[in-house]
Amino acid sequence: MIDHSDRLLMRPLDSVTSKQRVAYGLAFFVLFVALWSWATFGGHVSKTFLANPLTMVQEGYDLLAKQGFLFDIGMTIWRVVGGFALAAIIAVPLGVLMGAYKPVEAFLEPFVSFARYLPASAFIPLLILWAGIGELQKLLVIFIGSVFQVILMVAVTVGATRRDLVEAAYTLGASDRGIIRRVLLPSSAPEIAEILRLVLGWAWTYVIVAELIGSSSGIGHMITDSQALLNTGQIIFGIIVIGLIGLLSDFMFKAFNAWLFPWRLA
């Protein structure tokens, strides 16, 4: 064993303790707020363009306590979760079928690859025409933005299942259905969960865009309203809330995955 610990602060792929990890992570936020304070309190950036951290906190409190911002947050979360769940329910089975059966893949892959590049936000005007400016339209934006991505990534994951495991299952007498249910699905499940976690993050960006246009509630709606009033404190607060919710949902997703797939960590 070569011990370099006394010579170097870090080495490629060396691990850190969980305490260090938290400390490093917090350090970045401290640095970020410090820079922001320096720019705003120091007068380097005009108040009109960027509120200082204190104003932001005050505005945030005002939003939550007096302007019913919690309702907006709730609306946004419901839209993301709703649209995303709808997409997942359709995309995961389709992706599994595509990954497992090459003819299905040959049939759907070209279209899905094409549709994947269609920007969800470009559909908003069309969706408003079709579905009005109600909830359905918002759900559809998120749905369109997520569904093709999930299909394709799940298909690739399932298609990349270790062949030797599939062969082992066949020699143990597995039927084709057994191969899907007891090899392809369990071996891809952690990867599929990761895909869902990733795409859920993207869904957050779609929902805000959908709410910027033709909406009367939600975080995105609040941000457009604040823009009209030049209230950068509220805008920044809204953005930070989105980030925090994203962080939280990511954390929960990770913990859930770790609980669901203990064999990965063993």
Choices 34-42, 175-183, 222-230, 251-259; region in contact with another protein by CB under 8 A: 175-183
CB-nearer residue toward another protein: 49 or 263: 263
Least distance in angstroms from the C-beta of 196 to another protein: 18
Burial of 238 (0-12, 13-18, 19+ CB in 10 A): buried
Instruction: List the interface residues with another protein, window 45-64 (CB under 8 A).
Output: none
Least distance in angstroms from the C-beta of 159 to another protein: 18
Instruction: List the interface residues with another protein, window 149-168 (CB under 8 A).
Output: 164-165, 167-168
CB-nearer residue toward another protein: 101 or 261: 261
The closest of 242, 239, 236 to 47, measured between CA atoms, is 236
Burial of 36 (0-12, 13-18, 19+ CB in 10 A): middle
The packing angle between helices 69-100 and 135-159, to 10°, is 30
Instruction: List the interface residues with another protein, window 100-129 (CB under 8 A).
Output: none
Q: How far apart are the first and last CA of the chain?
A: 25
Least distance in angstroms from the C-beta of 99 to another protein: 17
* Structure tokens given for 262: 């203990």
Contact footprint for another protein (CB under 8 A): 164-165, 167-175, 178, 182-183, 186-187, 189, 261-264, 266
